[in-house]
Amino acid sequence: MVETESTIALIADIIASKRMKERGQTQQILSDILDRMNEEFSEQIESKLTITLGDEFQCLVSDVNTAFLLIDRITLELQLKTIEELDEEISLRWGIGIGALITPVKDKDVSIGADGPAYWHAREAINAVHENNDYGLLNEKILTEHKDDLFYNSIIRLQNIIRNQWTRTQRETVYYVLKAGGYKEISNQKVTEALEAGLKKSFSPQTISKRIISTQIKQYIQSRKLLTDKIEEGREAH
């Protein structure tokens, strides 16, 4: 049994999936989103986003930045699409695991078959969110088995609180900004360009300023970027 170098596993599932009114349509919306993410992030995804059960999916990625960006992009798009098309907001919970694999990835196109600490940690993390979601404010957790896990998750909790307070318009704003530039530092001009490209309409400087302030998007993006850098430092150290 030979362990591979450290990799990052993501496991996610739909919250309260059994109470969904439009289960089949929700699963199709999710499947379409995952297909687009697999194509867009093909160089960073080591084993494709794959639906393993009706309401659960998983993947392997090469870096922490991609892991967090996928979480944000998929979460926001699913919320926006299900509200728009089904009049029902569907959310996800996530487990992030960092560790080795004890079985190799045999087929990048299907995220099934590989096993090891990366997946074990992700499974333990998502189960922890399921058991204690902090009154609905917590949607993700990371487990690396290092002493810094408590610190990482305290920051994630604060980030989740910000994200879960966004209105539909605010989510739309953040979604298009992340789609345009990921966690790169933003300016009013970049937010304007991202929204106008995404929504195909013009925005006044006052509207852009209000959206930046109300979403706390600059603080959110900076926090995500700093956390990914910190986790990568810990990953390299171990």
Specify burial of residue 197 (Cβ count, 10 A radius: 0-12, 13-18, 19+).
Answer: exposed
| The two three-digit tokens of residue 26, written as one number | 């929700």
- Domain encompassing residue 11: 7-145
Helix locations, 61-201, DSSP H: 64-86, 117-131, 149-164, 168-181, 188-199
Residue 61 falls within a domain, yes or no? Answer: yes
pLDDT at 39: 97
Residue 108 falls within a domain, yes or no? Answer: yes
pLDDT at 112: 66
Residue 92 falls within a domain, yes or no? Answer: yes
How far apart CA 144 and CA 234 sit, in angstroms, is: 9
Angle at alpha carbon of residue 27, lines to 21 and 32, rounded to 5°: 140
Residue 223 falls within a domain, yes or no? Answer: no
Q: What is the pLDDT of residues 171-214, one digit of tens each?
A: 999 999 999 999 999 999 999 999 999 999 999 999 999 999 99
pLDDT at 109: 62
Whether 227 contacts 96, CB under 8 Å: no
CA-based nearest residue to 120, from 75, 58, 61: 58
Residue 99 falls within a domain, yes or no? Answer: yes
Residue 102 falls within a domain, yes or no? Answer: yes
> Can you give the CATH number for the domain in which 90 is found?
3.30.70.1230
Question: pLDDT tens, position by position, for the chain (238 residues)?
Answer: 445 568 999 999 999 776 777 888 999 999 999 999 999 999 999 999 999 887 899 999 999 999 999 999 999 999 999 999 999 999 999 999 999 888 777 667 665 667 789 999 999 999 999 999 888 889 999 999 888 999 999 999 999 999 999 999 999 999 999 999 999 999 999 999 999 999 999 999 999 999 999 999 999 999 999 999 999 998 887 6
Residue 159 falls within a domain, yes or no? Answer: no
How far apart CA 192 and CA 54 sit, in angstroms, is: 38
- Find where tokens 């349509």 sit: 25
Instruction: Say which DSSP state 216 is in.
Output: T
Residue 73 falls within a domain, yes or no? Answer: yes
Total number of domains in the chain: 1
pTM score, whole prediction: 0.94
Angle of helix 168-181 relative to helix 205-215, nearest 10 degrees? 100
Paired sense of beta strands 45-53 and 56-61, if any: antiparallel
